[in-house]
Amino acid sequence: MSNWVEIKVKTTTEAIEAVSNIFYEAGVAGVVIEDPKIYLRPKDQSEWDYLDIPEGLDFEVAQVTGYLPEDSSLAERTQVIKERINQLPNYGLDIGKGEIAVTTISEDNWGEAWKKYYKPTHIGKNIVIKPSWEEYKPKTDEEVVIELDPGMAFGTGTHETTMLCLEILEEYIKTGYTVIDVGCGSGILSIACGKLGAKKVLAIDKDENAVKVANENIKRNNLDKCVKAIKGDKLQGIDFKADIIVANIIADVVIDITKDAGFCLKEGGFFISSGIIKDRKLSVIEALEKNGFDVIQQFEKGEWVALVSAQASISR
C-alpha cells in the first residue's frame, strides 16, 4: 500500500477555484473543498435539505485539500503548488490565510478518516447517495439510491457543483439516452445517469486511480453492462456521440472542452457544465457561444454555477 501526501490550503471562498486549478495542473486527481459559507445561505424548506453547523466553524476560512502519491516527483510538484498559490495575490486574488500544510498519510488511514464525515445524502427530488459502508433503507419507491465509495478519486456528491449536476441530470435524462461524463472522478454522475435510465454512459478521466474507482463503483451499482469508465484526456479521440455531455470540472477545463463538445453531441443534445465559480461564468459562456452553443439554463448554488447549453442552430 503506497503512502500519499495530503496538501491542505487554508484560503477564501473566492480563491477556491484558482487553488483547485493549481492542484489539478500539478497532477492531483481530485480535491476536497470545504466552504463554510454554505451554512450561511438560505435553505430550501423541503425535507431533503438539512445541514448541521459544526461547532467552532470559521466562516472566513475555506479549505482545499488534494492528495499526491509519495514518489520521486513529489518534492518538485509540492514546491510548484506552494509557489503558484503564493503568487495568486499578485493577480488581485485574496487568498486569505494562504496557509499550506503538508502531511504524509497512508491510503488506509485516509479512507477510514474520510468515512466519519460521509453519510447518506439526499439530493434533488429522489436521488440518495449512500456510502458503501452505511446502511440505508429507501423511504419511497421513487428513490434512486447510488452506492458509492469515493476512494482517493473523491466525488462524493456533497459538493455544490456535484449537487447541481445531479439535480440537472435528474431533470434532463430520459430513458434510452447516451451520455459522456468528462472528468468522472468516482463515477457518481455516470452512475446517476445509468440509474435514471441512460442506456449507455462513457465515463472519462485522465487519472488511472479515478478510472479504477469509478469502475468499481459502477460494478457496485450493477451498471457495468451500460456504464464504462476509461482513461482519457477530456474529449480527445472520442468517437462516440451522446444525447448529453456532462463536465463537472473547473472553468478552464470546461472552456477547453467547448471546442470539441459539439462533435460529440447528437442533434438536439445538451452540454451540461459545472465546477464554475461565479466570477468565471461569463468567460465560460463566451467560450460556449464562440463554439456554437447557446446557454439555455443557468443554475447556482452558493458561489458555483452550472450551465445547460444546446447547439445554437438547434436551440433557436
HEC-encoded secondary structure of 177-202: CEEEEECCCCCHHHHHHHHCCCCEEE
Based on the domain organization, do 18 and 129 belong to the same domain?
no
Same domain, 90 and 147: no
The Cα 236–Cα 264 span in angstroms is: 10
Same domain, 12 and 104: yes
Q: Once rounded to an integer, what is the mean pLDDT over residues 261-276?
A: 95
Do residues 242 and 162 both lie within one domain? yes
Query: Pick from 112, 136, 152: which residue ends a domain?
Result: 112
Q: Are residues 153 and 102 part of one domain?
A: no
Which of helix, strand or coil describes residue 216?
helix
**Domain that includes residue 65, residue range:** 3-112
What confidence score (pLDDT) does residue 190 get?
A: 97
Task: For residues 187 and 275, state if they share a domain.
Answer: yes
Residue 51 pLDDT: 46
Highest mean pLDDT pick, 38-47, 49-58, 66-75, 179-188: 179-188
pLDDT of residue 53: 47
- 13 plus 123 within the same structural domain: no
**Residue for grid cell 433503507:** 137
Write b or e for each residue in 43-71: b if 16 or more Cβ atoms lie within 10 A of its Cβ, otherwise e: eeeeeeeeeeeeeeeeeebbbbbbbbbee
Is the pLDDT at 59 greater than 50, yes or no?
A: yes
Q: Are residues 56 and 163 in the same domain?
A: no
Kindly state whether residues 104 and 134 are assigned to the same domain.
no
How much is the pLDDT for 270? 98
What is the rounded average pLDDT for all residues in the chain? Answer: 85
Query: What pLDDT was estimated at residue 296?
Result: 97
Nearest to 198 by CA among 162, 165, 169, 173: 173
pLDDT at 47: 41
Does one domain contain both 245 and 142?
yes
| Average pLDDT for 203-224 | 92
Residue 49 sits in a domain whose CATH number is: 3.30.70.120
Give the model confidence (pLDDT) of 237-258 as tens digits. 998 899 999 999 888 999 999 9
User: Among 112, 137, 152, which residue terminates a domain?
Assistant: 112
Nearest to 202 by CA among 213, 218, 221: 218
pLDDT in tens, 99-126: 999 888 776 676 665 566 567 888 889 9
**179: domain CATH number?**
3.40.50.150
Question: Residue 13 pLDDT > 50, yes or no?
Answer: yes
pLDDT over 70 at 74, yes or no: yes
Confidence of residue 234 (pLDDT cuts 50, 70, 90): very high
Q: Do 134 and 279 share a domain, yes or no?
A: yes
Please tell me whether residues 282 and 203 are part of one structural domain: yes
Count the domains in the chain: 2
- pLDDT given at position 316: 42
Residue 50, pLDDT above cutoff 60? no
Query: Percent of the chain beyond pLDDT 90?
Result: 47
Give the list of residues 6+ apart from residue 155 with CB closer than 8 angstroms, or none: 30, 162, 184, 185, 186, 187, 188, 189
* The three cell numbers locating residue 183: 472528468
Domain final residue pick, 79, 112, 145: 112
